[in-house]
Amino acid sequence: MPSAVDVGIATQASEELLVACHRLIPQLSSSSTPLTASELAEIINSASTVLFVARVETQIVGLLTLALFRIPTAMRAWIEDVVVDAAARGGGVGEALNLAALAEAKRRGAQTVDLTSRPSREAANRLYRRLGFVQRETNVYRYEI
């Protein structure tokens, strides 16, 4: 029987959370530079970003960042940097993080929640579709600075 997942919103850039970021983010992206304590505090203290932290038996096992912003057409939201520790996958942690983010986006008045996921991320794509995300026909562009 899988252990209960507890999802909360980070309110403090604690050493415990920073260490968890350093353990989890490389499992999402091998190229990103390690987050600093002040960058973590910036995410937590910004009105436009919400960092969700999933715990199983008090251990941090997953992270998700929700970005919210008003633009002329609507209040929009994006889900970014979703990662669950390899040892905790397949137990509903990713689902719990996404459901918490969708509830917060709704509470804050967002009309849509967008995300991208490479087709090779099979577990992620399956999870998002199961939760009701619908694939859009659009071109995704990036300008590297």
Ligand X SMILES: CC(C)(COP(=O)(O)OP(=O)(O)OC[C@H]1O[C@@H](n2cnc3c(N)ncnc32)[C@H](O)[C@@H]1OP(=O)(O)O)[C@@H](O)C(=O)NCCC(=O)NCCS
- Positions touching ligand X (CB under 6 A) are 27-28, 82-84, 89-95, 117, 121, 123-124, 126-127, 130
Neighbour-count burial of 30, counting CB atoms closer than 10 A to its CB (0-12 exposed, 13-18 middle, 19+ buried)? exposed
Cα separation, 41 vs 35, in Å, equals 10
Q: How far is the CB of 116 from ligand X (least distance, A)?
A: 7
Q: How far is the CB of 34 from ligand X (least distance, A)?
A: 17
Cα separation, 80 vs 25, in Å, equals 12
Q: How far is the CB of 72 from ligand X (least distance, A)?
A: 27
Nearest position to ligand X, beta carbon? 94
Q: What is the dihedral of CA 129, 101, 50, 81, to 10 degrees?
A: -20
Name which of 66 and 82 has its Cβ closer to ligand X. 82
Name which of 28 and 41 has its Cβ closer to ligand X. 28
Name which of 41 and 99 has its Cβ closer to ligand X. 99
DSSP H helices, 25-86, are 37-45
Q: How far is the CB of 126 from ligand X (least distance, A)?
A: 4
Q: Using the structure block, give the residue that is written with the tokens 């979703």.
A: 82
Name which of 65 and 117 has its Cβ closer to ligand X. 117
The number of residues making up the chain comes to 145
